[in-house]
Structure 1
Amino acid sequence: MKLVYFASLALSILLFSCQGSKEKPLNVLFIAVDDLRPDIGAYGNTLIKTPHLDRLAATGTIFESHYVQVPTCGASRCSIMTGLLPRQAGHLKNSAFEEFISDRPEALVPESLVHHFRRNGYRTVGIGKISHSVDGLLYGYKESPEGAKKEMPHSWDEFLFDADKWGTGWNAFFGYADGSNRQQLEGKVYPYEMADVEDRGYPDGITADLASEKLRELANGDAPFFLGVGFFKPHLPFTAPKKYWDLYSRDQIPLAAFKELPENVHLSSLQRMGEFNQYLLGDEKATLEKSLSDEYAQKLIHAYYASVSYVDAQIGKVLDELERLGLAKNTLVVVWGDHGWHLGEHRVWGKHTNFDIALRSPLIIRNPLAQPGRIGRETVVSSIDVYPTLADLCGLPVDFPLDGQSLVQLISTGMDSERENRAFSYFNKGISMRTDRYRITKYFREEQPSIELYDHLEDPHESINIALQRPELVEELTAKWQAGDTGLYVPQ
């Protein structure tokens, strides 16, 4: 442990001495949003109301083709925090932090990108859901957090969350405006709620206020800071104050562009909506055998949109405070969605598939020292690229292996000829590769077909698997796909 400490101290001294004329290293504000698909104005949705995210995107770099490594919360967050592709079955679970990071002694390789910043002289503060646990502690949904272990024990100087009337972090995560929660009511709740309350009537409003308060404190500190803020919505239940529901006329909200089962695909490539159907008072049960009624689907999408607008307003409060304090000119801002979400596409309501709709999410990076930019759909990037990007932008040396590739060249010039234009994702016994035009997924299973191929130029909704019709293309893409085969599905 002493060796690690002194190595870290020496590295920090070197960092600050090398920054020479800089008044202060860049700060980092990292904002994680749960279950946010790229349905915001900056990504082309002209109906949804997201003015604050759109404003950020207009002053930063927006990545139109950003893909996560795992379409489930904890595993996706573990991947971005470590900068690594999944290599074991446990890396695909919400318990990934518990299995691979929590309760382990500090090592030479940092446990997370936050830990790396902390070792390099940054004050690190977390608020809300950054890893999987909503308050950075390991305990069950119905348990008390008292005495719980830290999820990332060496990463944070300070971790905060205000559970308010809900009592615990998990109660707040699944909470309703009256202070109740899903687990307390044994699932006898609706998957949505419209309450006539102020923003603090739901947890994200409290988190935004807490983050703003912490920014005021950090502004007076001598050290650069890494502030992580994790917002809950639009994760289920889709709950938001009434004023955000009122932004929309339900009859104008579009349904999924493709709401049928994809052709030439086994049902095991999809999912059975176990998470969604836990909300026992839902108007209808979601199944793969039949789509939800248009009326109920439209209500749910309305609820999702309201939740997105609500969290957009909370992000806006934090960004406004950053600006008011004069910190914006020296702070990197990252907004990242931990994965996408099917809103009826392929009859699915939820994440947990290897389809584009579950794997694509927003990524916006605002570098105050760079011009705004837009990286189009032809350039594919991954969540694992965030770690090396932030280290690169802040001048932190990385002398340990990462699977991601820095995005700095793209942010600076809009192009990177050295970049491997592909993203790998893992779930459901499958490994999926996205290129600028194609998605190929190979499943390690008995059910057939075990290979799926989609041409996004001809079929942007992934409605027809063309693998059998294009064997030569499957062979060509498989040669590139092999780089993402980390041995995950080799028997251990």
Structure 2
Amino acid sequence: MRYLVFLAFLSFFKVFSFQAKNDTPPNVLFIFVDDLRPELGCYGTKIIKTPNIDRLASQGSVFNKHYVQVPTCGASRYALLTGLLPKAKNQLSNEAIRTYISGQPEKDTPETFIHQLRRNGYFTVGIGKISHYIDGLYGYAESSIGAKPELPYSWDKNLFDPGKWKDGWDAFFAYADGSSRITKKRQVKPYENGNVGDEGYPDGLSAKLALHQLDSLSNSKRPFFLAVGFFKPHLPFNAPKKYWNMYREDSIPLTPSPEIPEYINLASLHNSPEFNRYALGEEKPDLNTPASRAYAQKIRHAYYAAVSYMDAQVGKLIEKLKEKGLDKNTVVVLWGDHGWQLGDHRVWGKHTLFERALRSPLIIVDPRIKEQKKKIDKIVSSIDVYPTLMEMCNVEMPYKTKGRSMIGLLYQNELDKAWKEASYSYFNKGISVRVPRYRYTKYFRDEFPVVELYDHTVDPNENVNIAATKPHLVKKLDSILEEGDTGLYLK
């Protein structure tokens, strides 16, 4: 008992010392990545080639069990930026930020953690996709389409170079010839092997803008928060040819969960509408008709190429930090807004409450911590990022959330038994909670069964729903699930 008390005191002392010794606020480079599975070298995947992210991870902490709150872009980013679990059904939509932030007057409560940093002396710069609608964020498009900035008070400066695509929304779905899924009226394939360099697609242009900003920010007397949002590997899976050439398509492995899970209702899944809206795709896989092996390998090849392309852009940013001497006092966060099912359970997309859609990468590097823990296996949530950044930057948390600072988890040999492991996610008329051994999901719908339980010790790919055989465990997990209810379904 005395030993545990001593360790608890040591834990407190380390965090207190962290705050006391770091009166100079750190800079923050926050990298937002769209639709990124934790299928990276630093997560133990051998097929993928992500040397730059892997190198970044070696300098800090990799969170092996990070989960998003909503498996769709806009709503996931809303939860991250506010640190809040969704309390209304329209907070599960890509319209969440537009509905709750865009067009609102400035309030005492900051609109995002970026706004809170700005109020506390940070110079804030946003580049690329940070919230959701690119044309709703960047001022250049306001006069042409009448869009209001999605985050009106978060930025000192927001930038985007749409290049030959001319606007952000077309750049989001860009093809190398300057067209987009929109201008082509969906008459395109869901992938492209582009005979162009890095700046032949928009993410290369965003990286270029970010490098210029780092040159400028290196001379600033104020701490900065630089957010860089990359589109890839979001659909369409387009990337320069050299990244395609990094892989042999016929050697790419397929999913270990190719079939629909046993003892579930198909309402828990979907027929991949986002993927199949690319009209020239050679196949249109759905729950009844899975993709052929050759096509599944083709699409996985395209996804991996897009990931490696994005990884190269990350490498440019990290190298620039080092070149400018900013790496000594810049916290770097790389965050994926959700996962993506690459044929897992016959789904090509996100928008489910399964592990593949909810688990995403989270890497945090704080150069001020000498012995940062390399691998963190505790379950954490996207809403934990807000309070973590506030503590790192010595800024007051402006309100209470269910999110918790993860600083204590970053230390080697930290006593972390007090960390409660439960992450809540919401979508598709359901709530899901991930605890150390299980994923438990309850749906509020007419289709049965409405309860799903997966034992990750023996079934990490969630192939068999065992809820019907574990009534006592379901009852126990029900009580944990209720702790994550915010009024969406249960109250």
TM-score normalised according to structure 1 size: 0.93
Aligned letter for 1:49? Answer: K
Answer yes or no: is the 8 Å Cα contact 1:70–1:426 preserved in 2. Answer: yes
Q: Where does residue 405 of structure 1 map in the other structure?
A: 404
* 1:153-196 Cα deviation digits (max 9, x unpaired): 11111100000100000100001000000011110000000011
Alpha-carbon shift at residue 375 of structure 1 (Å):
3.6
* 1:109-162 Cα deviation digits (max 9, x unpaired): 1110000000000000000001112255389x9x97554211011111110000
**1:128 is the counterpart of 2:125:** no
Q: Where does residue 179 of structure 2 map in the other structure?
A: 180
Q: Where does residue 303 of structure 1 map in the other structure?
A: 302
Distance 1:136 1:331 in 2: 29
Does the residue aligned with 1:322 lie in a helix, a strand or coil? Answer: helix
1:96-175 mapped onto 2 (5 Å cutoff): 96-137=96-137, 145-175=144-174
**1:467 is the counterpart of 2:452:** no
1:21-32 mapped onto 2 (5 Å cutoff): 24-32=24-32
Alpha-carbon shift at residue 251 of structure 1 (Å):
1.2
Distance 2:472 2:67 in 1: 26
1:61-460 mapped onto 2 (5 Å cutoff): 61-137=61-137, 145-370=144-369, 371-377=371-377, 379-413=378-412, 414-460=414-460
Q: Quickly say closer, same or farther: Cα 1:175–1:430, change in 2 above 3 A.
A: same
Alpha-carbon shift at residue 489 of structure 1 (Å):
2.5
Q: Where does residue 482 of structure 1 map in the other structure?
A: 482
Q: Quickly say closer, same or farther: Cα 1:23–1:356, change in 2 above 3 A.
A: closer
Distance 1:416 1:145 in 2: 52
* 1:248-297 Cα deviation digits (max 9, x unpaired): 11111101111100001100100121111110000100210021000000
Answer yes or no: is the 8 Å Cα contact 1:135–1:160 preserved in 2. Answer: no
Does the residue aligned with 2:424 lie in a helix, a strand or coil? Answer: strand
Number of residue-to-residue matches in the alignment: 470
Does the residue aligned with 1:365 lie in a helix, a strand or coil? Answer: strand
Answer yes or no: is the 8 Å Cα contact 1:452–1:466 preserved in 2. Answer: yes
Answer yes or no: is the 8 Å Cα contact 2:372–2:411 preserved in 1. Answer: no
Q: Where does residue 15 of structure 1 map in the other structure?
A: none
Aligned-residue sequence identity (percent) comes to 55
Does the residue aligned with 1:130 lie in a helix, a strand or coil? Answer: coil
Aligned letter for 1:460? Answer: P
Alpha-carbon shift at residue 24 of structure 1 (Å):
3.6
Distance 1:267 1:127 in 2: 39
Answer yes or no: is the 8 Å Cα contact 1:48–1:305 preserved in 2. Answer: yes
Distance 2:443 2:144 in 1: 38
Does the residue aligned with 1:318 lie in a helix, a strand or coil? Answer: helix
Distance 2:264 2:239 in 1: 36
Distance 1:259 1:20 in 2: 52
Distance 1:290 1:144 in 2: 45
Distance 2:297 2:143 in 1: 37
Aligned letter for 1:50? Answer: T
Q: Where does residue 14 of structure 2 map in the other structure?
A: none
The runs of 5 or more residues in structure 1 that have no matched partner are 1-18
* 1:213-233 Cα deviation digits (max 9, x unpaired): 001111111110000000000
Alpha-carbon shift at residue 75 of structure 1 (Å):
0.2
Distance 2:315 2:479 in 1: 44
390-399 vs 304-313, which deviates more? 390-399
Answer yes or no: is the 8 Å Cα contact 1:127–1:135 preserved in 2. Answer: no
The runs of 5 or more residues in structure 2 that have no matched partner are 1-18
Q: Quickly say closer, same or farther: Cα 1:82–1:216, change in 2 above 3 A.
A: same
Does the residue aligned with 1:373 lie in a helix, a strand or coil? Answer: coil
TM-score normalised according to structure 2 size: 0.93
